[in-house]
Amino acid sequence: MTGLIGKKIGMTQVFSADGSVVPVTVIRTGPCIVVQKKETGRDGYSAVQIGFGNKKNQRVNKPEQGHMVKAGKGAFQVLREFRLQDVGQYEVGQEIKATDIFKAGDRIDVSGTSKGRGFAGVIKRWSFSGFPASHGTHEYFRHGGAIGNRSYPGRVFKGKKMAGHWGNEKVSVQNLEVVGIRPEENLILVKGAIPGAKRGILIIRRAVKGNK
């Protein structure tokens, strides 16, 4: 396996061996259950689908119930797939824990949904500096300024930084360090901050850049 599904618990701090304080984010990683195996001959690619989090059966429709019942662990809150070269070592219903994939000192990439902040102006959203607070500026302190051009091209370019919805989008943070693992509680301690609010769902993978 290359990753797991987790839930953000919150932030705290731990002490390293030299006595320095290390800020960490606590992630609960399951255990995750293998729900389905996908093979190249049948599905066109090789992957393992895992489930995380408990959910009441009556809150899952009949097709999803039939799909999850094969694992024998009830309904799951989240289902995600992880590509693998060989899925033969995993069986439907098998538990995958954090210690099976990660260890202290590993580098990981974490993806989550950032906090939604609603409609925001250009200063809060894009860190614009605004206009001078004196010398004749009136009712224009926090505006974005001119956005157009001359007669050519006579339009606003796509991707222009403007006011709009901020947050509530997928964010990935790369090359974070695993400070420690507490297997009895299925917890991973990750150095630094992680996107999203408390109780947000996260995808934890082996780092693409950090474990070379």
Give the pLDDT confidence of 166-209 residue by residue, as tens digits.
999 999 999 999 999 999 999 999 999 999 999 999 999 999 98
Whole-number pLDDT of residue 211: 60
Domains of the chain in sequence order: 3-117+169-206 (2.40.30.10), 119-166 (no CATH)
Q: Which residues of the chain have pLDDT under 50?
A: none
C-alpha torsion sign, points 105, 90, 185, 7: positive
DSSP string, the chain: --EEEEEEEEEEEEE-TTS-EEEEEEEE---EEEEEEE-HHHHSS-EEEEEEEEE-GGGS-HHHHHHHGGGTS-EEEEEEEEE-S--TT--TT-EE-GGGT--TT-EEEEEEEPPP--EE-HHHHH------SSTT--S-TT-------BTTB-SPPTT---SEE-S-SEEEEEEEEEEEEETTTTEEEEES--SS-TT-EEEEEE-SSTT-
The CB density around residue 142, as the number of other CB atoms within 10 Å, is 14
CB 5 within 8 A of CB 32: yes
Which pLDDT value is given to residue 118? 96
Q: pTM of the predicted model, to two decimals?
A: 0.85
